[in-house]
Amino acid sequence: MSGIWVVLEDRDGRIGRASWEALSAGKRLAELTGKSLNAIVIGHNTAGLAEEAATMAVAEVARIEHSLLEHYTADAYTIALDQFIQAKQPGYVVFPHTYQVRDFAPALAARMNEVLISDVVAIGEGPVFTRQLMQGRLTGNYRHHGAGPCFISIQAGAFRADAVATDNAAVTQFEAMIDPDAIRTRPGAPFRGSAQTVDLASAPLIVSVGRGIREADNLQLVQDLADALGAELAASRPICDNGWLPMERQVGSSGQTVAPKLYLAVGISGAIQHLVGMKGSQCIVAINKDPEAPIFEVADYGIVGDLFEVVPALTEAVKAAKG
């Protein structure tokens, strides 16, 4: 068994941020194990993606190519990666924990009598892979045993995408053999999110509101605080699901990933799906009436109190400080 191979995902012809974060996790694994770090791009006509990947400090970029890989199907991806793994015998196969990976990677691992250690948030000596359980209230450490490759997927926001050094890697090509009859699904048009007019990802200050606000009419309270600070307003998923704020303001695993200088979480419990979208923030302040709320575990400053008292007082204090 040799080498660490990170599977990079095609996001509209570019490699997405989650894949660079997975590569960063691969780098950590390479430092711990002394194994070489390599990357995989998969699809049809992957030259552009491979070129982008080859600018990173990896030993090799492998293009897994087949015309039936042009549009994603779980069967074709599983078959092609299975063949590649049989040929290369990697020690570790690392994925970003995307919806696509969740769809095919467990089947790929099972095909090899392995499991996928999914949604990993940290990698320690051993190597030991850390996962969060029970909505982030517990963490579990996992080791891989046995001869087969170890499959892991990396939670969004857990590793820094910019930690991967740049270089010039060799690109190789692997021709997969895929029988069209082995593909049991027919790909439809790719899902397209609505065009985003709010770029939370580059906002330096964010005030984010959760279900603690109780009803839409109360949102003005947090809007006032955001205005006083000069911050963007964001929200947890229930707020957007209720239609109280547009979806583009949602932070989390199915919303935007943000990393502002200040993230002020108001009445947000800190479910894992929310945390993955904001825990890279430089300073996190949480206001919550429940001292046991998981948001306090990632907060730099915590205010245990009723947001209907704390927020107006904070708004006044900010206004007074700004003169």
Ligand X SMILES: Cc1cc2nc3c(=O)[nH]c(=O)nc-3n(C[C@H](O)[C@H](O)[C@H](O)COP(=O)(O)OP(=O)(O)OC[C@H]3O[C@@H](n4cnc5c(N)ncnc54)[C@H](O)[C@@H]3O)c2cc1C
Q: How far is the CB of 123 from ligand X (least distance, A)?
A: 24
- Cβ proximity to ligand X: between 136 and 149 the closer is 136
Q: What's the rounded Cα separation, in Å, for the pair 124 and 31? A: 10
Helices (H), 119-176: none
Tell me which residue has its CB nearest to ligand X: 252
Contact 203, 169 (CB under 8 A): no
**Sole binder of ligand X in the list 274, 284, 285, 302 (CB under 6 A):** 274
* Binding of ligand X by 288 (CB under 6 A): yes
Q: How far is the CB of 136 from ligand X (least distance, A)?
A: 10
Size, binding site for ligand X by CB under 6 A:
27
- Cβ proximity to ligand X: between 116 and 293 the closer is 293
Q: How far is the CB of 231 from ligand X (least distance, A)?
A: 18
**Sole binder of ligand X in the list 107, 244, 308, 318 (CB under 6 A):** 308
Give CA separation, 229 vs 69, 208, 318, in Å: 48, 13, 7
- Cβ proximity to ligand X: between 142 and 308 the closer is 308
Q: Near ligand X by CB under 6 A, which window of 53-61, 151-159, 182-190, 250-258?
A: 250-258
Q: What's the rounded Cα separation, in Å, for the pair 281 and 268? A: 15
* Binding of ligand X by 255 (CB under 6 A): yes
* Binding of ligand X by 91 (CB under 6 A): no
Which tokens sit at 277? 């979208």
- Cβ proximity to ligand X: between 79 and 275 the closer is 275
* Binding of ligand X by 267 (CB under 6 A): yes
Exposed, middle or buried, 135 (CB in 10 Å: 0-12/13-18/19+)? middle
Exposed, middle or buried, 59 (CB in 10 Å: 0-12/13-18/19+)? middle
Helix (H, G, I), strand (E, B) or coil at 173: strand
- Cβ proximity to ligand X: between 53 and 265 the closer is 265
* Binding of ligand X by 292 (CB under 6 A): no
Q: What's the rounded Cα separation, in Å, for the pair 237 and 252? A: 8
- Cβ proximity to ligand X: between 134 and 163 the closer is 134
* Binding of ligand X by 212 (CB under 6 A): yes
* Binding of ligand X by 271 (CB under 6 A): yes
Q: What's the rounded Cα separation, in Å, for the pair 128 and 119? A: 13
Residue ranges of E strands in the chain: 2-8, 10-11, 14-15, 37-43, 60-65, 90-96, 116-124, 128-133, 138-142, 150-154, 170-175, 205-209, 232-235, 262-266, 283-288, 301-304
* Binding of ligand X by 28 (CB under 6 A): no
- Contact residues: ligand X, CB under 6 A: 210-212, 236-238, 250-255, 267-269, 271, 273-274, 277, 287-290, 293, 306-308
